[in-house]
Amino acid sequence: MTFAEIMEKGGILMYPIFLCSIISLAALFERLWALRRSRVTPSLELYLHIAQNGTREAMLAEAQKRDDFLSQLMRQVLSDDAAADTARMTGIHAKRLGGSIYRWVTIPGVMATISPLLGLLGTVFGMIKIFTRFSDMGGNPLVLASGIWEALLTTAAGLSVAIPSLIVYRYVLYRADRAAGEIEFATERLLAYLDKK
């Protein structure tokens, strides 16, 4: 049986289930691109060198040239007027940066929840259709036998989307947590050098 035949026999709810799979994949690829290594903390060694040998102003000038997450955080922290309490200000700015790191992370989890429910709904609609035909045809058991497997297609499709979507959700969440941890660690190291000065 081809993909087109499965979609046709499964009914109209196969299309939103298929859409759920596309959305999960899109969220995965978007987060893999957004949280790649060169976007998180690629300039840590350079900042450590500046922190050991330079000033806050030199570090701020370097941060303004770059667009990775660590540079964004350093730019906000170092240009803040309340520089006396850098640890507190770093926490405040890190929360704002967290929105960029965790963007779209929950989308695959939502798809993992919705797709089996859509599959179950499709199966219920299919069973209603089967029993309507069954009663119209005078209780012919062949109608039941041929119709039940078609009705169960949507449940199978929903679960086939939900399981990988859940895996994608956990993986994307892991990547976001790891990126946030790397940025926090890098920022604490840099600020420790600056505080010594």
% of the chain residues with pLDDT over 70: 91
Structure tokens at 41: 């903390």
Question: By the 8 A CB rule, do 76 and 102 touch?
Answer: no
Contacts of 56 (CB under 8 A, 6+ apart): 78, 83, 194
Distance CA 105, CA 109 (A): 8
| pLDDT reading at 98 higher than 90 | no
Closest CA to 18 of 172, 130, 164, 127: 164
CA 193 to the chain's CA centroid: 34
The length of the chain, given as a count of residues: 197
Distance CA 30, CA 23 (A): 10
User: pLDDT (tens digit, 9 = 90+) per residue, 5-38?
Assistant: 888 888 899 999 999 999 999 999 999 999 998 8
Q: Residue 167 CB: number of other CB atoms within 10 A?
A: 14
Distance CA 87, CA 91 (A): 6
User: pLDDT (tens digit, 9 = 90+) per residue, 120-141?
Assistant: 999 999 888 888 887 777 767 7
Closest CA to 113 of 46, 173, 162, 53: 162
User: pLDDT (tens digit, 9 = 90+) per residue, 169-195?
Assistant: 999 999 999 999 888 888 888 877 776
